[in-house]
Structure 1
């Protein structure tokens, strides 16, 4: 048995009477290496954004500008500002984030250097400040040049990969620099190796002390059935001091502590014992997310005071890896507050290539979109950035659990002393910053690097392999893992993803097969194999990556393209595709079950092709996710007991083809609409198995008191009237499991229905209570590929739009002549989403609501609404 049990809280800065803070954010001067470019630049910000704001360049995302503006990342740049201060005392310049390699000088004196995008840097400048103007300069070196130099300096052995695949149009040796790995390119994003001061800069002046950070970690004491809130304060002290610390969680507990501090940096711990009941924090869909207020006041003996507040939540988390009866291997699932929780969600990548462009609205829209799709978990992927505080605070509020990778992905890494040292500081700072958030439920050392060694991605000889395993263990186990356990130790830690968990540990941290479905989590992709063949999917314990590509909507692409680009075989389409053979894979997969668009109008054919890729993606991910959800109760040949699905990926970094369900800008693809159903708390899912139609009821509920029956209907493609209707017997819905509720030979059902064949009919089904109340979303299954369907007619869909009488809500009434499949509504650039989309329309009239995210009118929606069904595209 392998358990890690604990619980947690949220973040806030101290306010102090004696601490003076001078913000240096705002307008700086920006120069390139030969002074040929001189512009004003905002801090926080980056060079690309500054150049665009000053009109020096146009939108970096437009057409081929990622290549046209490559020169920006190959140059060196200098940020300069001046300021005056009047405060007296110890002075520290704080850089929350510099991207990435820089030399910092104040009044001509070098005060420090930076080499890690993910670290905060504090430089003491006491004695260097002038009473009048002070000049602060940050010289930033090209990350591309630096990475190349570090690679060349590593002469003992190579550290692969050297460069990304040519299709990615990226830069080389990104594994030699502590920077967002995807900034040098990825298979879903551009190469923009940014430079800049990407987070805030401030000067802190103080005579007594300052508080560096503040963490709170509630832990459950099972022996006493009570909670202890562990509070840690990190100080930078100038003179020896004594203080009285007052801590309070209103209505729960208040306590006083005496504090003695000596000069230098120190760490002080306190424990608040909560001897009364608390309301527990639960993942979304399993309960509420109560957040308590923790208040701290530090009263210094000299009369100075420091105050801070933070949200605190009470919950426990366990990662259960233990033997499964009658099965080889180990389980792999999360328990929150003692209850097994099936994780439903996706993977999160950087929201924008230029982090200073990421707004509160962008993060909020994406997280709300995840919650509206019934997600309770997201994996912050290891090739991007540790997200900003707002992201984690919103996840705390929304009940979205975070699987937090450290920022290493798809590569091997050097282990020189300087590299290890900056990584250690990075890990320490990030764990201290994030461990107070209840939403963070697990740390993971890297993305796919165990698999990279085990599966020999980089053609390493057998003789060399021990060297790379040694480096792997040194970096992720002896440094990152050990540091995490020292700094937190309250959450499970996995060295990699995918991994066999404790089995990988037994095998020296690099398993023979990290994809073994009997252990841990798996990543699985297969693009040419028929995604409708559910028997080919791995019956894994936990699916942490899987998915299929699609293109974003025409309205999203048209913002960065011109008419000549609007063809699937254009240079633009090829340029935006960063995954080898990606466009071909999409069409080949779609062609297995759909007739590819063939209308004569090239622009319409382009729009239709975009549509068919989204249909394919939604259908493929739906089939795979439903397979995993119904496998939670199954053990087949020792495999199964699946307890998590995180499809790849939630969001996009730019306007291009990817695995995302939400486009750049926040527009939902068909996949995201479907996720609201296949992630529903109670799901009905059907498969054909050896000639039988099987319908399962899958429940996330914790009670078995619900009784259900399956209602099944057969519809012909030529009529709105059901050919026949069937019901299953009443079955008790298994709590937190999958229950078979309907099983009949398809041949017998077709014979019973009379006028149906596999090609002429579609089957719909849902779960209802014995009294007829609908419990699960309506679902459907095809008995043959839609490309072979018989009797399908053009539905001739028309529509009207009316104001719904609710602010920015509109009712779209659809009328059609024949049943229609994959009915898709698109309102171009009007932001918002429909309550359903990409649906099966089996009545001549249907109503859909649209919620707009900005003021609009029924007339504007009418003018921009496009409706497409499968039969319309050929």
Structure 2
């Protein structure tokens, strides 16, 4: 789809090899194959699509690869060569066809293909589809197809040795990741050799479908339907909108083609209409350029997260897993996800669900945190990869941008890899060769959406500087990644006032129930070998506690298991509060320019999902359970949001609105004593006009003056809650502001929360009764899958009812047995 003037000009093309009379015949080769290693000491059945690790586990040769230290124990798998074999009948129709193609939708990764003992071809790229002509090689009766896979670890090492002119860093991942080396020399999932949030499982297998396609032809004809175009006025079609900004209507388009009186093409597809622009233009009152997306002519603030592979073994990423994770994103009011460049191009269903749900996708190409070789064969396979992926995905309205790589411009510009000055021009040349001359050039096949060479990047400014800016983190341009684990995350001044925040975040541990299936009792300590093994970020476990200790008392239970579970909880509290503070800072910065910085139009925190059961930056645990951060996201991504912060001992409250229409809102501020559930006082501002798509300050008062008007309150004894309201009542969620660190608060009482469970036609609910103000109230039902309507909340009322949405059959009795309630005061 291309936007043409005031209308939509649609040009649709189908390319299809067809016969002069008969349609092609396809024979799926998916299903049961046999699998053996290099010396045939291991031989077993294997499913296709699938991978070696999954086959070994399914047949009992190995345990769960995620159990305890098995990621290291099973390294031998990726160091061996493996062969997949299947036998199929060569039908008369297949053998009589003049053109027969053997098609592999995905081979992971380096393989030789043999049919009936004859070499058919080779593969070297996980992200490509391969097809080989096998006409004349089929025989009557049984045909034997073999796919011989080389160890990806040894292959990458050999490719590195062959590249002797200069090093292509990094050589190996940090030791803490327990990974494999030279992943940048092989075109496969980069994180499969390990990452700072995931294990090293360099997979091998046929990870997508295999089939034969036969054409009974005198001459293979390529049909190109290029007269087939039409022009529509925008008013004639319903437009696709991101989540929260409108609906996602689609049209069903059926196309039939005839040749010689025979039906040779009959296809139906969904068609969506929308336009996308990336606006980079001068900003009044600021140096630099804007950086925001306009969808259907409307500026949209992107609210969301970053997507990593949902499993180390892609054959286990089921439709249910995808739908659950993406529905969780929508339920947290997200409208965008960035598919990160160190994983995989996701399966078709992922993008179809994003289309349906209105999730905008920033799509990276699969290059991350490394330099890459530029030999001719490497460039050629990358070009084919890009062509195929762009052709496959460009019809999805959800994809709003292509991006060439993750952090590689920044790696060059800020010298991550200690490249000598004299060698720097060679690396810059390679960078431009790969991402600009090839990936960007090939990607121009799709000109309906913007192309970014890297993330983070200064965008148009980087291009002006020869594609590698002197400072790709310059907040006056483009998008920014920002992480800081030692500075106080409650202090908004530590965050860059950027045009667009495409990565930021803090780690936490998953819940105890998520760790249980992959651990044993001796592992249940924050200082255990297991806890150290699962942490792949240098000093990550310590950094979480140091950040938490800035504002919270750390758990001190004498029972070691309770101290462990309490510590898991406090890391989630810390993460949720830190990301909340940073995200709210970005959302309130969308309408302001301060010291030349601001007009922030995107907040995509790192990261949405997990690849295994371990500490990470995710807001959703492996298995789909929401962390406290994800519950917080429901509020800080709300369409109408109150944001409170202090500047110079003055409290400000902003009204943030993503709505298209204007509002009139006031701020209502309640002051509570930590020891009492009745508010000490409540203040309200005047009504203020709030433009749609803006952030506006509507409340300003020195904290000392505010407290002076509220009796005996001090910073140590009281806290604030606030919300927005119009003439008809509350708009958006209620928010809170701590006047001191909770660890310094005075008068905090143990809330002694009691629980009553109930069930009705709508499902399950839990009613809580508290004796005092309770912070970060956390409801957990162990391994009962589902989620609560809200969680991790500040309780300033005596009673609160929370719904529970179960994802499996359960009962009030099971929920009652499983439920635990934890608040901040319960930790000490």
Counterpart position of 1:802: 758
Q: 2:363 aligns with which of 404, 417, 421?
A: 404
In the alignment, structure 1 residue 847 sits paired with structure 2 residue 773: no
Q: Is residue 8–residue 438 contact of structure 1 (8 Å, CA) maintained in 2? A: no
Aligned to 2:689: 732
Deviations 1:691-717 (A, max 9, x none): 11100000001212x111111100001
Instruction: Say whether residues 1:703 and 2:661 are aligned partners.
Output: yes
CA 1:127–1:743 in 2, change beyond 3 Å: closer, same or farther? same
Find the counterpart in structure 1 of residue 128 from structure 2. Answer: 119
- Per-residue displacement from partner, 1:96-133 (whole Å, max 9, x unpaired)? 00000000000000000000000000001000000211
CA distance in 2, matches of 1:577, 1:864: 28
- Which deviates more, 381-390 or 730-739? 730-739
Per-residue CA deviation, residues 324-357 of structure 1 (Å, 9 max, x unaligned), is 0121000000000000000000000000000001
Mapped partners of 2:157, 2:12: distance in 1: 39
Q: Answer whether contact 1:717 1:793 (CA < 8 A) is retained.
A: yes
List aligned pairs for 1:97-116, cutoff 5 A: 97-116=106-125
Mapped pair 1:686 → 2:644: yes
**Deviation of 1:15 (Å):** 12
629-638 or 3-12: which moved more? 3-12
CA 1:7 to 1:631, structure 2 compared with 1: closer, same or farther past 3 Å?
A: farther
Check the 8 A contact 1:593/1:786 in 2, yes or no: yes
Q: CA deviation at 1:759?
A: 1.0
Counterpart in the other structure of 1:167: 176
Task: Indicate if the aligned counterparts of 2:52 and 2:204 stay in contact, CA closer than 8 A.
Answer: yes
Contact 2:11 2:228 (8 Å CA) reproduced = no
1:159 CA displacement: 0.2
Map of 1:193 onto structure 2 = 202
Counterpart position of 2:674: 717
- Please give the alpha-carbon distance, in whole angstroms, between the structure 2 residues aligned to 1:697 and 1:13: 51
1:185 is paired with a residue of what secondary structure?
Answer: strand
Q: 2:151 aligns with which of 142, 149, 158?
A: 142
User: What is the 5 A alignment of 1:77-92?
Assistant: 77-86=82-91, 87=93, 88-89=96-97, 90-92=99-101
State the alpha-carbon separation in 2 of the partners of residues 7 and 802 from structure 1.
Answer: 55
- Corresponding residue SS for 1:481: helix
User: After the TM superposition, which residues 353-364 of structure 1 pair with which residues of structure 2 at under 5 Å, given as runs?
Assistant: 353-364=312-323
> 595, 601, 618: which one pairs with 2:576?
618
Correspondence 1:240-639 to 2 at 5 A: 270-274=228-232, 277-485=236-444, 487-639=445-597
Displacement of 1:268? 5.4
How far is the alpha carbon of 1:269 from its aligned partner?
Answer: 7.0
2-structure distance, mates of 1:422, 1:873: 55
Give the CA RMSD over aligned residues.
Answer: 1.7
Change (3 A) 1:338 1:12: same
Note the C-alpha offset of 1:571.
0.2
SS at match of 2:247: coil
- Aligned CA distance change for structure 1 residues 11 and 270 (closer, same or farther; 3 Å): closer
Structure 2 distance, partners of 1:732, 1:590, is 38
1:39 to 21, 39, 44: 44
Superposition pairs of residues 19-30 of structure 1, within 5 angstroms: 19-30=24-35
Which residue of structure 2 lines up, in the alignment, with residue 820 of structure 1? 774
Cα gap change, 1:746 to 1:688, in 2 (>3 Å): same
Measured after TM superposition, the shift of residue 207 of structure 1 is 1.6
* 3-state SS in 1 of match to 2:575: helix
Q: State the alpha-carbon separation in 1 of the partners of residues 245 and 9 from structure 2.
A: 17
How many residue pairs end up in the alignment?
816
Query: CA contact under 8 A between 1:9 and 1:436: conserved in structure 2?
Result: no
Q: Would you say the 8 A contact 1:7–1:317 is kept in 2? A: no
1:576 and 1:4 map into 2 onto residues whose CA distance is 52
Q: Given the alignment of the two structures, is residue 861 of structure 1 paired with residue 806 of structure 2, yes or no?
A: no
Distance in 1 separating the partners of 2:11 and 2:319: 21
Q: Contact (CA 8 Å) 2:579, 2:629: kept in 1 or not?
A: yes
Unaligned 5+ segments in structure 1 are: 209-237, 242-259
Q: Which position in structure 1 is the counterpart of 2:722?
A: 765
The two structures have a TM-score, normalised by structure 1, of 0.92
Contact 1:11 1:433 in 2 (8 A): no
Would the aligned equivalents of 2:789 and 2:803 in 1 still touch at CA under 8 Å?
A: yes
Question: Can you list the C-alpha shifts for 1:20-63, whole angstroms capped at 9, x where unaligned?
Answer: 11000000010000000000000000000000000010100000
Match of 2:742 among 779, 786, 797: 786
Q: Which runs of 5+ in 2 are unaligned?
A: none
Partners of 2:519 and 2:599 in 1: CA distance: 46
2:602 is the counterpart of 1:644: yes
User: Are 2:12 and 2:228, in contact at CA under 8 Å, matched by a contact in 1?
Assistant: no
Q: Deviations over 1:254-297 (max 9, x none)?
A: xxxxxx85xxxx79574233356100110000001001111111
* 732, 749, 752: which one aligns with 2:709: 752
Stretches (4+) displaced over 2 A: 3-18, 266-270, 272-276
**1:234 equivalent in structure 2:** none
CA contact (8 A) 1:670 1:838 kept: yes
Matched, 1:870 2:824: yes
Q: Return the alpha-carbon distance in structure 2 between the equivalents of residues 656 and 309 of structure 1.
A: 43
Q: Where does residue 192 of structure 2 map in the other structure?
A: 183
Contact 1:11-1:310 within 8 A present in 2 as well:
no
- Structure 1 residue aligned with 2:219: 239
